[in-house]
Homo-oligomer: A and B are copies of this chain.
Amino acid sequence: MTAFGFEVFATDGAARLGRVHTAHGPMDTPAFMPVGTAATVKAMTPESVASTGAQTILGNTYHLMLRPGAERVGRLGGLHEFMNWRGPILTDSGGFQVMSLAKLRKMSEEGVAFQSHIDGSRHLLTPERSMEIQNLLDADITMAFDECTPFPATPEQAAESMRLSMRWARRSRAAFVDRPGYGLFGIVQGGVYPDLRAESAEALCGIGFDGYAIGGLAVGEGQELMFQTLDVTTPLLPADRPRYLMGVGKPSDIIGAVLRGVDMFDCVMPTRSGRTAQAFTRRGTVNLRNARHQDDPRPLSENCACPACRNYSRAYLHHLIRSEEILGPMLLTWHNIQFYQDVMRGLRAAIAEGRVRQFAAQALADEALGDIEPL
């Protein structure tokens, strides 16, 4: 069994080209991990997800603990077996989603008591239970249980929240079942306050994790403040461990974060957009519901290898969306995941060749051109 680990092959400024090793195989970084909330990347088969080059997918502890249930997934052989995903799986801790339940939850030092949004049943999520669930799910990468500090938050609120997360991080570390090839990541909190981020990073490094996530960003603070926070946070994290920016983001967010030394990303954007007729292209997003596509025989993207671009016209994709045909979300999700993987592949090649800043500049320039002209 492979030990969990991280290699760095090349750096270009702060950007790193690397590889995470897990029990279920490697993940080349910088990596984008598609989100498979309820044990499926929505509207995709696992084979299609893998065909885009995606190596790792995400599962959500909150959703899976409620349905089908962590113990059930465990009895059925774990999440890889259950959903037929043979590569690495990262699960979140459940903290983020539980926090967003608002009136249905109650927090304490112990953890979070909440009611299921599905059937109203009562549950308690603690660092220990979160570790147990992620172990039952057989996650290659387990996330420490934390509170995602809301934005905006006063320095006092952010500090209190962050320190609770650090106490929970210590309990997560203690409860984590260490197995060869399986890793546990801590999550840096502290809002947009550099001193709190530093305090959090120091606390986590003191506990010691297999990787370090940066949480509490992409929650409304905007790209500039997010980048400023990364600028002061990533240098505080160990160079020999992967860095994961949670829930991010748009392609330009990802590219900017890679320039600042982040290695891993996840976001529902490509999948959710695919289900709402939004397609990512090098020249920005395209809304295929728009009537201007109805007679357009051109592919969505000329240089994309996904089936939506290889086999169909914009006119056909538009028709599928207007007709509310399932194949519309299927093809657009596939395309968007392919697009994200192509961006990551481009970033990895650029880092290897020492031209990541040029790559980033070109991507921004392409996007600024806007979508191709109507016919």
**Within the assembled complex, what's the spacing in Å between the Cα atoms of A295 and B45?**
21
Q: B44 contacts A315, CB within 8 Å?
A: no
Q: B326 contacts A330, CB within 8 Å?
A: yes
Q: A319 contacts B68, CB within 8 Å?
A: yes
Q: B67 contacts A327, CB within 8 Å?
A: no
A:317-355 near B, CB below 8 Å = 319-320, 322-323, 325-327, 329-331
Q: A312 contacts B39, CB within 8 Å?
A: no
Of the 9-residue stretches A76-84, A101-109, A224-232, which lies at the interface with chain B? Answer: A76-84
A83, A326, A327 pick with most chain B CB within 10 angstroms: A327
A231: min CB distance to chain B, Å? 39
**Within the assembled complex, what's the spacing in Å between the Cα atoms of A222 and B323?**
33
Asked if A62 is at the interface of the complex by the 8 Å CB criterion, the answer is no
A327 and B40 in contact, given A67-B322, A316-B83, A319-B67 (Cβ under 8 angstroms)? yes
- Residue interface mask A286-317, B partner, CB < 8 A = 1: 00000000110100000000010001110110
Say which residue of B39, B42, B331 sits within 8 Å of A319 (CB atoms). Answer: B39
A200: min CB distance to chain B, Å? 35
Contacts of A156 in B (CB 8 A): none
Nearest residue (CB) in B for A316 is B82
- Residue interface mask A40-55, B partner, CB < 8 A = 1: 1011111100000000
Asked if A364 is at the interface of the complex by the 8 Å CB criterion, the answer is no
**Within the assembled complex, what's the spacing in Å between the Cα atoms of A312 and B197?**
43
A330: min CB distance to chain B, Å? 7
Q: B84 contacts A323, CB within 8 Å?
A: no
Q: Secondary structure of the A side of the interface? A: loop
Asked if A175 is at the interface of the complex by the 8 Å CB criterion, the answer is no
A:138-170 near B, CB below 8 Å = none
Q: B322 contacts A40, CB within 8 Å?
A: no
Q: B325 contacts A38, CB within 8 Å?
A: yes
**Within the assembled complex, what's the spacing in Å between the Cα atoms of A30 and B145?**
59
Contacts of A294 in B (CB 8 A): 68, 72
A290: min CB distance to chain B, Å? 14
A:22-71 near B, CB below 8 Å = 38-40, 42-47, 67-68
Q: A67 contacts B316, CB within 8 Å?
A: no
Q: A295 contacts B75, CB within 8 Å?
A: yes
Q: B295 contacts A43, CB within 8 Å?
A: no
**Within the assembled complex, what's the spacing in Å between the Cα atoms of A40 and B326?**
9
Nearest residue (CB) in B for A81 is B313
Q: A45 contacts B325, CB within 8 Å?
A: no
Contacts of A295 in B (CB 8 A): 72, 75-76
Q: A84 contacts B311, CB within 8 Å?
A: yes
A78: min CB distance to chain B, Å? 12
Nearest residue (CB) in B for A84 is B311
Q: B326 contacts A45, CB within 8 Å?
A: no
A59: min CB distance to chain B, Å? 12
Say which residue of B40, B68, B82, B307 sits within 8 Å of A45 (CB atoms). Answer: B307
7 contacts between A and B (CB under 8 A): A43-B326, A67-B322, A67-B323, A68-B319, A72-B315, A75-B295, A82-B315
